[in-house]
Structure 1
């Protein structure tokens, strides 16, 4: 290789070998060769985290001392979802400039990224013998001296075996799975625990549920670490007879002289393994050893290692280290699916992995079936979630020779014969939703509501714990918090094995499906009824109490799975309504909509199309839909309630009155504020008559009227009403109630819109802390308070603090609510003008255009929010130099906002201000001054002479008058505006400082949540 010099034996090279875990046999052999030639060698397995940029991960290799030898294979380049182009860019950026530090060998015939040429020529070791491979390696690294013998030797020799050479004794090992993925922690831990164990104690059991990949992990361990052994013997251990036979067959392979009897051969084998003669380095794999009691006495001891695969935790009682094989992590699942079915995209693989809960066997067979099928992945996932029979379409492989449900049914049949109580408990679990199952809820069901056989199980702690232990023992279920996370599981032990530390267990989706599929209709009704009663009994019945939300969060996932939506039991129906209330209050809008729609479909089926329950359900449904911005849909639904239910029950029915309030909220969302005010006042009159002034519903309606007044620009009236509502809520509901905190937020918002920024900031800071404490940091109402805090900071001059908080809010609102949620769009609109004011024009334009286009699509071109966002966009265009387009858009926005809200609304006045400034810049001074003079008059009347917007309009007028050379009048107008700003905001406020320097004035549109 060009540029390398030969070294002498006295010189010691420092070489770090970078390798994919799959190629560990090559890494071990190369390290052995180099060490025998006097090199200092370190092994570094290549598996960078997916979030680390590839260039950074490769650059980290240069932090080591000496040379870096990379073992090239398709596996090396498959670590993480990296594209070929990413690899090419990284190799050119890191390896090419540091070619003297890097060297490479290739151990594959697969095509590699073209930029591997950056290594300057890799030594080809694939397909050659040990001597030639050694020669090429030595030549690559410029090593001088005698080429050592690379052949393997017998007995205790510590040198690594050449990867193409099998151990001298090799029997029954499955072929290597070329799609094997991940499991690096499992394989490395097993190797470490076996290697570090004292002689005679090196036994590790790979434990896990059916289909989790225990056998595949054991097979990969054999192929990856097999070069460290002289004997590798794979034994099916499902029965004692099979194990005895396969162990006896090892005798002739070891060269032992014995008779033909199994017993004699078995004794000879166990004695040879114990003594390590003729081979001390041996590995015995007992696969499928699910009955420890029958075979534990046959497990050999001695100088070698034993690896067991099992579903049975009882191995923990037989001097073996347990290592729980988990399901794949998500990156492993995605990589595995994409190797199995190239047509499946990364996003689809992620969705499929989530639906199958990352279970390797299910992923393998499902991806295999989808690989050649035209069925969309999304359609398959829907079939899976609906409980459809999808087993017929699964594709088995040599690696997984039976479907998951078949494998699970074998375990279930075994339990049915030996542990019927455990099967009954499992059937109860199956009427909860898959995933976390709160078994303790079953203990609260009164015995009178239970069938006799289940009452005996649930009321008998010994029988209950024994059944639970059996399910955990056979890995059918697992504790939802399995121990300390080291893979060995957790739990205390009872007379029948381990008992979970918690009675919340985890049931995999496919196990859940398998249990339910095998139940009769009568059994299904019996077990589902018990679970429904358990859920209803656990209802705290106070969905507004934030302290109880964690209990509702536990119950809601199980409503549909348990059949609760089809139940006619009054307490179960009440649980559904309470759950919907909880989902709305806690901000889980999408989950609430999903539950409401499922309940609507079920209740129409059970009760008929005209049942009164459907009207009450529709009322809650509209509230949830409105929270995600579906105002047109909710307007239609509420008008239908008012018309149809009002005709039956009369206009004073409380559900009808609630619909009036809902309709007002719909109209606010649609920008029809005067209509909304009429509906709000209609609802208030009816509530005052029907339930009185102090009722929560009356207070909520007063709050809603203030919201509408605020949207109409009548900020002083809104503040007066919000303060009264706050006082009454504090008296009726107490100060920490979420509705009371909401009134505090409203008051702070009113104060800010009135220009009383310091008062608003002081109130909002306290309000944010209260919301975080009562509702949690990610509740939409808490996020709304933080948004108002950010805008208070911005108005008081803390631009850095405001920008930082808005940046966090933009990410959090999208994560919690989605990018089209009203709150997220409001944050985006506000963040855009903050970016513009701080000079980040690219971000201002990108975020602002996103908000503008979203409003156009969701609300239409004539909605005030769309018009206002367009006016903000015009300001960005003006700053970046597109002045003509900016002025055209501003003039159009003024015309449209005037048509929608009238000339005296603060939003219209703000756009008029921007329009006048734009005319001034275009030297249209007469029209600018005319508009500014009219704007000052209207703003003074609508907002008062001391409002910041009125004063800003005066500054614009002064600028226009100065341009017209009316300097005396301009100075008078400017002085009056400055005095007003000093009086209201102070001498050092950013608005005052900007006015003194005669900086260009403008107004930013800010959408208000309806």
Structure 2
């Protein structure tokens, strides 16, 4: 019959429950202690067995860790507050039956406060507790053994002749001390546990870059899951030549003779581990696949947990668990734990951003700031200007070296083993802290295979992340690498980077960009100052990026890029150079989309005059300039006769054909002019025919096609054919969401039109769309933008007509406040 019932919660220091069970079982015999994990036999009805053991026991030991009160289930509900929670049910039953209940407070768990407990557990707070700390387990366990002997005489008599001894901590055990006041990364710990549970002879490898917290997680796992093992041993594997001495210590702890031949030592040690039962072996910092292969081959019933910067292990049976940098919230949480004075969250977030949310860098920064030497804001500024120096500050006395030292060692090893990889790293240091496809780097050198090997070496080093075939440098490490490089060398690297970017494959800048070519290129082009590139392809890339930005909803950035390029190239190549004129045309286009029509006309007329003189009236480049002049001029007077737009269509059709993309853009603008002039029938005819040609030539999802479909929908609405318009706008809105994104201005226009169609057909379904578009326009465009005001009016009117009665008053107030401002603002045009 069990004398002691061990009550515990999985996930809250479960090693302590296992330790208590083993200690009491060694002292009084295994039949005197009940712990579900050890005592329930396979196939038994576990619920019945637990109640029987609880009824027969004299003592209930409630193991209470630091998370005991706060642990939640998958739905986010507090476990202890649920009446069906087994931990709660067991304690409540023991209290009601008058059992001797002993709370055991593990690893800093606070003394129980009855105000924080459910009423049925309040009496637990009045019970004298025992403290069990992993740094001094003997004292707490001795008290528990003494209490068991005192309270149950039969157990004391059994102990007198017992061959068992007090176990204390696991043996063997040599895991480093835990890090106090650290961020809990429970998702990763659970992932490690799942990987090891299903390991079946495989090693679980924690992979990640330098300083992300792999060693800390391995340490924390060893403590939290120690209850699943009889022995845990830690080996620092970064330097294989030092592992022999550590294995000798393990052999000594196991009673294994390690004086035999070197090849026989490891099998002998594993045989010793297997004799002692379940074991966890941690290999911290292992980089050698050949060495891991030997450990895997011998591990058998045990678990291998490896930390490594390396992610490629060939065909070795491994389960990888990736350790990423902290989230920004986790970084702020860590800094707040260590920095006194409650600094502002924004300050801590800026500091976290400056060190790229790297765990080791955050810890060093926290220690240095907590010393009072600098404020968080001062540290943020210093680390951006004196990167290497600051990354030596903040001694933690827990990590073997600073981040500066760790990176320096890694760079020296890379320079020696893979010089080309080091050269590539210097190139990446002057680029943006953003992903870059590995394939794009192959053109960097004449030998693509050598570049692939260099990329592979970078990934193996753990200094640069390689994710899904993309190389992803991070800002702090880039600054660390870049800081000692001479200015002249940096300029050479920047030019090499520009040429490399310009050679990358990219599609139509006005197209859907499904693979994100331009989104990938943009941050690197900005970081490298692409307009300064000497190669003509660099100028072509800048112009394509400007067009991409305008077409995809960021004309402000497009204007800054094209205006800066226009001025630089005019000074360098002259006002009539093609690149200068193209940059001016792109600046005019950006002005147009920003509503600065007068500026657009001024630039367009200058470009047209120079193109006419340089290439003649019928050159496609001159026709494009004439097209831009016509639509920008019409935009200044949108109700005027669209004769100039029609003339451009005729010219482009004659020279380029009616299905040329440029001709179809001019045709779209003609339809816009006809609709604005009130000729809806002709506008629909022009727009419908143009839409058919666009679908055939560019496809249904091209932005130009979707813009034309939107125009036909407007024509149908103007002709009071709301049902037909609704279907077309619904399709266009869905496609624009997928192609352009939900927050693109064109997508929001389609959403607005769709909601208006629902209102016109008397359908309440459009209320949700109207609300979504209104909210997005407020976030994207601001509350005072004309399109936001129009959405406010539409949403308010639809809420009055279709919304719940409780919201009608607020909707009427919204309409009243918005109406006057809407009437005073000129409506924008969508063209070009």
Name the TM-score, length of structure 2 as normaliser.
0.71
Question: How far does residue 574 in structure 1 lie from its aligned partner after superposition?
Answer: 1.7
- What residue number does 1:543 align with? 509
User: Does residue 130 of the first structure (1) align with residue 141 of the second (2)?
Assistant: yes
How do residues 238-387 of structure 1 correspond to structure 2 at under 5 angstroms?
A: 238-250=238-250, 253=253, 271-276=268-273, 279-280=276-277, 283-291=280-288, 305-313=303-311, 322-328=320-326, 332-333=330-331, 335-341=333-339, 343=342, 358-369=357-368
How do residues 851-870 of structure 1 correspond to structure 2 at under 5 angstroms?
A: 870=817
Question: How far does residue 551 in structure 1 lie from its aligned partner after superposition?
Answer: 2.7
Preserved contact between residue 642 and residue 660 of structure 1 (Cα < 8 Å): no
- After superposition, the C-alpha distances for 1:181-209 in whole angstroms (9 at most, x for unaligned) are 344344345445556667xx575443332
SS of equivalent to 1:181: coil
Cα distance change, pair 410–770 in 1 and its aligned pair in 2 (3 A): closer
Preserved contact between residue 369 and residue 395 of structure 1 (Cα < 8 Å): yes
Which residue of the other structure, out of 162, 166, 169, is the alignment partner of 2:169? 166
- What residue number does 1:419 align with? 418
Query: After alignment, is 755-764 or 730-739 more displaced?
Result: 730-739
Query: After alignment, is 379-388 or 232-241 more displaced?
Result: 379-388
How do residues 763-782 of structure 1 correspond to structure 2 at under 5 angstroms?
A: 763-765=728-730, 767-768=732-733, 771=736, 779-782=744-747
Question: How far does residue 361 in structure 1 lie from its aligned partner after superposition?
Answer: 2.2
User: Does residue 534 of the first structure (1) align with residue 534 of the second (2)?
Assistant: no
Which residue of the other structure, out of 779, 782, 789, is the alignment partner of 2:754? 789
The root-mean-square deviation of aligned C-alpha atoms, in Å, is 5.7
- What residue number does 1:597 align with? 560
How do residues 909-988 of structure 1 correspond to structure 2 at under 5 angstroms?
A: none
SS of equivalent to 2:397: coil
- What residue number does 1:572 align with? 538
Preserved contact between residue 605 and residue 629 of structure 2 (Cα < 8 Å): no
Cα distance change, pair 268–9 in 1 and its aligned pair in 2 (3 A): closer
Query: After alignment, is 607-616 or 547-556 more displaced?
Result: 607-616
Preserved contact between residue 510 and residue 551 of structure 2 (Cα < 8 Å): yes
SS of equivalent to 1:127: strand
Q: Distance in 2 between matches of 1:841 and 1:1009?
A: 37
- What residue number does 1:757 align with? 722
User: Does residue 585 of the first structure (1) align with residue 588 of the second (2)?
Assistant: no
- What residue number does 1:406 align with? 405
SS of equivalent to 1:749: helix
Q: Distance in 2 between matches of 1:156 and 1:624?
A: 84
Preserved contact between residue 806 and residue 831 of structure 1 (Cα < 8 Å): yes
Q: How many residues are aligned here?
A: 757
Preserved contact between residue 20 and residue 141 of structure 2 (Cα < 8 Å): no
- What residue number does 2:41 align with? none
Preserved contact between residue 761 and residue 789 of structure 1 (Cα < 8 Å): yes
- What residue number does 1:26 align with? 16
- After superposition, the C-alpha distances for 1:554-575 in whole angstroms (9 at most, x for unaligned) are 3223212344232133221121
User: Does residue 480 of the first structure (1) align with residue 467 of the second (2)?
Assistant: yes
Question: How far does residue 593 in structure 1 lie from its aligned partner after superposition?
Answer: 3.6
Question: How far does residue 417 in structure 1 lie from its aligned partner after superposition?
Answer: 0.9
Q: Distance in 2 between matches of 1:247 and 1:91?
A: 43
Which residue of the other structure, out of 618, 638, 651, is the alignment partner of 1:677? 638
Question: How far does residue 90 in structure 1 lie from its aligned partner after superposition?
Answer: 7.2
- What residue number does 2:181 align with? 179
Q: Distance in 2 between matches of 1:746 and 1:113?
A: 68
Question: How far does residue 407 in structure 1 lie from its aligned partner after superposition?
Answer: 1.4
Q: Distance in 1 between matches of 2:587 and 2:36?
A: 66
Q: Distance in 1 between matches of 2:612 and 2:652?
A: 16
Query: After alignment, is 556-565 or 126-135 more displaced?
Result: 126-135
Q: Distance in 2 between matches of 1:28 and 1:243?
A: 30
- After superposition, the C-alpha distances for 1:716-737 in whole angstroms (9 at most, x for unaligned) are 4466546545545656886846
SS of equivalent to 1:286: strand
How do residues 539-938 of structure 1 correspond to structure 2 at under 5 angstroms?
A: 540=506, 542-546=508-512, 550-587=516-553, 589=554, 593-594=556-557, 596-597=559-560, 617=583, 620=586, 634=596, 658=628, 676-677=637-638, 695=663, 698-699=666-667, 701-702=669-670, 705=673, 709=676, 716-717=678-679, 720-721=682-683, 723-724=685-686, 727=689, 736=700, 738-752=703-717, 755-765=720-730, 767-768=732-733, 771=736, 779-799=744-764, 801-809=765-773, 823=787, 826-840=790-804, 843=807, 870=817, 893=820, 900=824
Question: How far does residue 832 in structure 1 lie from its aligned partner after superposition?
Answer: 2.9
Q: Distance in 1 between matches of 2:495 and 2:203?
A: 46
Question: How far does residue 364 in structure 1 lie from its aligned partner after superposition?
Answer: 2.8
Preserved contact between residue 351 and residue 376 of structure 2 (Cα < 8 Å): no
Question: How far does residue 603 in structure 1 lie from its aligned partner after superposition?
Answer: 7.1
**Runs (5+) with no aligned partner, structure 2:** 39-49, 55-59, 93-102, 133-139
Query: After alignment, is 213-222 or 320-329 more displaced?
Result: 320-329
User: Does residue 468 of the first structure (1) align with residue 467 of the second (2)?
Assistant: no
SS of equivalent to 2:432: coil
SS of equivalent to 1:514: helix
Preserved contact between residue 539 and residue 575 of structure 1 (Cα < 8 Å): no
How do residues 421-500 of structure 1 correspond to structure 2 at under 5 angstroms?
A: 421-443=420-442, 445=443, 454-455=445-446, 457-458=447-448, 461=449, 463-481=450-468
- After superposition, the C-alpha distances for 1:271-312 in whole angstroms (9 at most, x for unaligned) are 355234984555543333334557976998577555433324
Preserved contact between residue 15 and residue 224 of structure 2 (Cα < 8 Å): yes
Preserved contact between residue 677 and residue 705 of structure 1 (Cα < 8 Å): yes
Q: Distance in 2 between matches of 1:91 and 1:187?
A: 20
Question: How far does residue 177 in structure 1 lie from its aligned partner after superposition?
Answer: 0.5
- After superposition, the C-alpha distances for 1:694-728 in whole angstroms (9 at most, x for unaligned) are 85665465455467x4xxxx7x4466546545545
SS of equivalent to 1:505: strand
Cα distance change, pair 573–137 in 1 and its aligned pair in 2 (3 A): farther
Preserved contact between residue 641 and residue 656 of structure 1 (Cα < 8 Å): no
- After superposition, the C-alpha distances for 1:627-682 in whole angstroms (9 at most, x for unaligned) are 6xx76xx47865885899999999999879958955876xxxxxxxxx64389979
Cα distance change, pair 763–174 in 1 and its aligned pair in 2 (3 A): closer
Question: How far does residue 767 in structure 1 lie from its aligned partner after superposition?
Answer: 4.5
Preserved contact between residue 183 and residue 334 of structure 2 (Cα < 8 Å): yes
- What residue number does 1:952 align with? none
Question: How far does residue 418 in structure 1 lie from its aligned partner after superposition?
Answer: 1.7
Preserved contact between residue 206 and residue 321 of structure 2 (Cα < 8 Å): yes
Question: How far does residue 597 in structure 1 lie from its aligned partner after superposition?
Answer: 3.4
**Runs (5+) with no aligned partner, structure 1:** 1-7, 44-63, 81-86, 482-501, 666-674, 853-867, 873-892, 902-906, 908-1005
